[in-house]
A and B are shown apart, each in its own frame.
Chain A
Amino acid sequence: MSSTEAIVLAKLPRSRRRHPLAVWLSLALLGVVTFLVLFGNLIAPDATAQSILDSLLPPGSPGHLLGTDELGRDVLALTIAGAASALVGPVCVALGSMVLGILLGTVSGYLRGPIDFIIGRWTDLLFSLPLLLAAIVVAGVFGAGYWMTVLLLILLFSPSDIRIVRAGVMEQAARPFVEAAQMLSLSKARIMFTQVLPNVWSLIITNSMLNVAFALVAFSSLSFLGVGVAPGTADWGRQLTDGRAIMIDNPAAVLVPALLIIGVASAANLVGDWLGQRLTRTGRS
């Protein structure tokens, strides 16, 4: 265990240790939502079908468990189908910025010198951009689009990944086992990615799960502002915008997607922490 880790762990009050029950519930929720992402369109194929006759039914109406919105779309079906759009983007953002973080962070932290300086200034630049404002500007210039948003968020999320991986790599690179690898004349790339990186995985995993949660909220915010997915698409963030106007007539139209966003974001956080702790423990005596 590194000394900084020891200090951080010692300072954490006992209550911060994640209770396994909370972790199991989080895993269960993420499991259900993953199932919806994969098969949501099969379960609710007609989620976006409109029916003026059925508009604004309250929850519990026959045939519409969670009621309908003002366009007569079934809220339950819409929520099930909206999981894919709500989650695929954030997961792609987390993976994309993880890959950038691993590549640039490891190179930056291990090689140091001019390349570290250049990467460092690049992350400073990205850090200084306000996320939502940048997204709105990009949407205004290139037009709003789901995958455009994914790319933009990868770019804007990557500096924290780069910095975190860099810090972890710098700490590990000073350890004698890295010098032992140098004594075997292994190439720098080989030392970086086979010797140093395994010791930084716990940081990376924890951070990436956090990123899923942040990206989920960011996507929903963008959809809410109208620069994310196109109107009419099944998406939790979009449901918030559309449902806001009919909150009195059918509260479920807003509450259900809102609670799901909060729940999935919290679950990703909890599971990330738990995974990180388990990975850290693997190498510890």
Chain B
Amino acid sequence: MTAQVSVTALTIDGPAGVVVAPFDFSIAPGETLALIGESGSGKTLSAKAIAGLLPAGFTARGTIALSSATIELPSTDAVWRATRGRRISLLLQDPFTSLSPVHRCGTQIGMTIDAASATRLSRDERTARITRSLAEVNLPADVARAYPHELSGGMRQRVAIAAALATDPELLIADEPTTALDASNQGEILDLLRGLQEKRGMAALLISHDLGMVRGRAEHVLVMRHGEIVERGVTSSVLNAPSHPYTRALIDADPSLTDRSARVVRGASGAGVSGSAEAKATGTTADSTTVSVDATADLVVATAVTKSFGDKTVLHGVSITVGRGETVGVVGESGSGKTTIARCIAGLERESSGVIEFEGVALAPGRASRTPKQMQIVFQDPYSSLNPMISVGRSLKLALRVAGRPASDLNGLLQLVELPADFASKRPAELSGGQRQRIAIARALAVQPQLLICDESVSALDVSVQKQILDLLAKLRVDLGLSILFISHDLAVVRQLADRVYVLRNGNVVESGQCHDVLTSPQHPYTQSLVAASIHEAAPH
């Protein structure tokens, strides 16, 4: 495996003409090429074309030259069966769906080993190779007996990597391999991939929308937009001195690559001195846009909230306050309990013990004691938080009716989230992720709530869309005087919006304070490691 992998004149035709214009690239053994672009840019289609997995209606042209074979596209199923999984492996974004839920992890790795080996392996030899594959990705041998749902997201992605690499492929295509993972897991998985790749001399094509992730982890980069390569070159020079305006825009939109405070107008107040100083320094603040954070009048006070599911305790006495007009961030990894505390406050979960007060009045656990006007929630996944069978207009009118507002307020509501009025007649399936999230925000705001709870509301979105939604939230916060409880695993995102921040770990608040203070000089070792992980993403190499 010494020759490089090269792809020549790769073109993809869709039902309505050319979708991806011809482009070439080659990857040396042990090196990584990153293909960057937003959703819809054609980057995933390109990956699928090289893996021979284009959806019906799409055809590819071009040549793929591997050291062991040359494939002329379009190719036959027989050629792909001999190639896919053996010479070219594909690693998918979501370890939840790429592993079969009904087979043990060992069985799934074994299946790829069997498919690739010429002779039938003995049971012992097969087990030995499965164990070796797992060891390579730093997993213990007993993971082989586990089902995917018994593992964490990071472990699952490791199993998927083990399965993809079990056949010793020449080229690994990784399609957004870490998008579904936590910040601290993301770095680990990418570094693991990088190590394995160098050890084996394997070429890798890394598909991503995340420029920060690519920095330091890929030798070369291709930037794709609307199916065309707009920029290519050595990673560091492209990121440091982009020549195409689109690349520039992608870099600007990435929260981990730029100065956060310069981009979102933050509320300035007595409680947020540092924020206001920063904003003034960068010249983006205006007195008319300041919001008052009245620290003496707390809107929500949660005291010593605990929550157990069965014999598993998720929250060990968490106390959180949200002031009027204040934006409070709650950060932590998955499993830290950040979503659970938000859901307890919203009444979607019943806390096991503790007190949740709203405007000084203690609320009983559950929805029955809460009114829609007190609080609304915007969920993480805009694809499942809107009812697929009901038009956007009907959903919003329902929310307006609950608040006793006339249906004619619908247009104003759509305007508030910067969408045109004709969106009312659409169904969620016709909208993009960002548009759906705007509708979800509009639905939450229809009842004019005092508190908006955002549960990972931007983490399922592309960076540039993420920025738009964050800007929208920052604007709404100022215009409507909203209090926001912002749950996220992404420090860079929380930093843009929050006045104060709580850091949760294993159901305990390990640190809290002014957002700027906590994130620039973290006291607790865990916070320090989170901040380090997030800086590592952004640091130049």
Closest residue of chain B to A175 (Cβ to Cβ) is B384
Whether the Cβ atoms of A283 and B385 lie closer than 8 Å is no
The reply to whether the CB of B429 lies closer than 8 angstroms to some CB of chain A is: yes
The reply to whether the CB of A180 lies closer than 8 angstroms to some CB of chain B is: yes
The residues in B between 387 and 425 inclusive whose CB is less than 8 angstroms from any CB of A are: 387-390, 398-399, 402
Whether the Cβ atoms of B372 and A184 lie closer than 8 Å is yes
The residues in B between 345 and 379 inclusive whose CB is less than 8 angstroms from any CB of A are: 346, 348, 367, 370-372, 375-377, 379
Whether the Cβ atoms of A183 and B381 lie closer than 8 Å is no
Query: In the assembly, what is the distance between CA of A29 and CA of B370, in Å?
Result: 55
Whether the Cβ atoms of B387 and A185 lie closer than 8 Å is no
- B367, B381, B427: the one contacting A185 at CB < 8 Å is B367
Whether the Cβ atoms of A179 and B377 lie closer than 8 Å is yes
Whether the Cβ atoms of B398 and A199 lie closer than 8 Å is no
B36 cross-chain contacts in A, Cβ below 8 A: none
The reply to whether the CB of A122 lies closer than 8 angstroms to some CB of chain B is: no
- Nearest Cβ in chain A — how far from B50, in angstroms? 21
The reply to whether the CB of B443 lies closer than 8 angstroms to some CB of chain A is: yes
B443 cross-chain contacts in A, Cβ below 8 A: 180
The reply to whether the CB of A22 lies closer than 8 angstroms to some CB of chain B is: no
Closest residue of chain B to A172 (Cβ to Cβ) is B387
Question: How many of chain B's residues touch chain A, expressed as a range?
Answer: 20 to 34
- Nearest Cβ in chain A — how far from B437, in angstroms? 12
Whether the Cβ atoms of B429 and A179 lie closer than 8 Å is no
Question: How many Cβ-Cβ contacts under 8 Å join chain A to chain B?
Answer: 71
Question: How many of chain A's residues touch chain B, expressed as a range?
Answer: 20 to 34
- Nearest Cβ in chain A — how far from B242, in angstroms? 32
Taken residue by residue from 427 to 442, chain B's Cβ proximity to chain A (1 for < 8 Å, 0 otherwise) reads as 1111000000000100
Closest residue of chain B to A180 (Cβ to Cβ) is B385
- Nearest Cβ in chain A — how far from B123, in angstroms? 27
Closest residue of chain B to A178 (Cβ to Cβ) is B387
Query: In the assembly, what is the distance between CA of A88 and CA of B31, in Å?
Result: 71
Whether the Cβ atoms of A198 and B402 lie closer than 8 Å is no
B97 cross-chain contacts in A, Cβ below 8 A: 3, 6
The residues in A between 160 and 182 inclusive whose CB is less than 8 angstroms from any CB of B are: 175-177, 179-182
Query: In the assembly, what is the distance between CA of A181 and CA of B367, in Å?
Result: 11
In the complex, 27 of the A-B residue pairs with CB atoms within 8 angstroms, ordered by the A residue number, are A3-B97, A6-B97, A175-B384, A176-B379, A177-B384, A177-B386, A179-B348, A179-B379, A180-B377, A180-B379, A180-B385, A180-B440, A180-B443, A183-B348, A183-B376, A183-B377, A184-B398, A195-B387, A195-B390, A198-B389, A198-B390, A199-B389, A282-B389, A283-B389, A284-B388, A285-B383, A285-B429
A sample of 18 more A-B contacts (CB under 8 A), given A177-B387, A284-B429, A285-B383, is: A177-B384, A177-B385, A177-B388, A179-B377, A180-B379, A180-B386, A180-B440, A180-B443, A182-B348, A183-B348, A184-B398, A184-B399, A186-B402, A195-B390, A198-B390, A282-B427, A283-B427, A285-B430
